[in-house]
């Protein structure tokens, strides 16, 4: 993956703006851009969704295929998340073997979804100890204008919420042509949403544009969900060298419940 070079003038201008609580598009430092969600964008997937956050656009699809359980979880179905960062989505993405970001994005999605308990994997057993459903989630960025990880988390949630478990015939084979009405076994109201805080100077921002993201010095991504009114941290990953102070971590913890509720309400309007 290539990295676009941010000029010192741009970085210094953004640093001063953030310090004054301002952004070029008029948002507050922790405000998200406009969110749009559409469903059934793939007629081959068991569930699919397209999410737009500002100009950032991501498609996620869910495919279900019978397979064997993992040796350490014989009583559960399997979750596999993959992502393709193709050059059509950004000049930063290159063809060839996946770079760090192409590996990081699906792993963050996998960890947040798995640890939140959103999918009841025990209900995806077809034949105990022998046959289970493999749930494949494929993430395809269409346009990366910043905040890709967080937009991808919304796309994965929406795709899972729309997914149906395929029908099996009398011989136990999958009939993908028969339209199933059986929903994916999901925990009601549990939506593991990612929030990536970016740091520039002494300021923290959420949902950066591409220009803002390129200028920032560090990022930490939290996977947050809510169980019975209790906020849960399901995943956390930091990137880049600049450190976050204890005060900055505390500021994130203070703002996350409110930001989660805001974004979760926006998402639920589409579900």
**CB distance 121 to 75 below 8 Å:** no
Please determine, for residue 12, whether its predicted confidence score (pLDDT) is greater than 90. yes
Answer yes or no: CATH 3.40.50.300 is held by domain 8-268.
no
Q: Evaluate if pTM is beyond 0.85.
A: yes
100 — pLDDT class (breaks 50, 70, 90): confident
- ∠ Cα 125 129 134 (to 5°): 45
Please give the pLDDT value at position 2: 38
CA distance between the termini of the chain: 34
Average pLDDT over residues 229-238: 96
Least confident piece of the model among 91-105, 133-147, 165-179: 91-105
Closest to 53 in 3D by CA, of 157, 154, 137, 189: 154
pLDDT at 93 over 80: no
Average confidence (pLDDT) over 50-73: 96
Listed by start position, the domains of the chain span 8-268
pLDDT above 70: residue 206: yes
pLDDT, residue 1, reads 34
b/e code 196-209 from CB counts within 10 Å (16+ = b): bbbbbeebbbbbbb
């Amino acid at each position: 993956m290539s990295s676009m070079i941010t000029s010192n003038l741009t970085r210094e201008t953004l640093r001063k703006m953030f310090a004054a609580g301002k952004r070029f598009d008029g948002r507050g430092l922790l405000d998200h851009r406009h969110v749009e969600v559409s469903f059934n964008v793939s007629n081959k997937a068991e569930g699919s969704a397209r999410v737009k956050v500002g100009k950032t656009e991501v498609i996620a699809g869910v495919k279900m295929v019978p397979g064997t359980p993992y040796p350490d979880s014989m009583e559960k179905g399997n979750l596999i998340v993959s992502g393709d960062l193709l050059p059509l989505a950004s000049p930063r993405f290159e063809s060839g073997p996946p770079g760090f970001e192409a590996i990081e994005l699906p792993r963050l999605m996998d960890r947040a979804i798995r640890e939140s308990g959103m999918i009841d994997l025990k209900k995806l057993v077809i034949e105990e100890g022998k046959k289970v459903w493999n749930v494949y989630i494929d993430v395809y960025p269409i346009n990366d204008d910043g905040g890709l990880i967080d937009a991808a988390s919304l796309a994965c949630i929406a795709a899972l919420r729309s997914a149906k478990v395929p029908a099996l015939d009398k011989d136990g084979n999958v009939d993908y042509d028969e339209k199933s009405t059986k929903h994916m076994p999901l925990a009601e109201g549990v939506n593991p949403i990612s929030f990536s805080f970016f740091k520039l100077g002494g300021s923290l921002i959420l949902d950066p544009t591409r220009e803002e993201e390129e200028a920032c010095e560090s990022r930490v991504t939290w996977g947050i969900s809510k169980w019975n009114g209790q906020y849960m941290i399901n995943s956390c990953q930091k990137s880049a060298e600049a450190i976050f102070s204890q005060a900055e971590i505390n500021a994130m913890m203070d703002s996350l419940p409110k930001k989660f509720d805001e974004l979760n309400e926006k998402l639920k309007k589409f579900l």
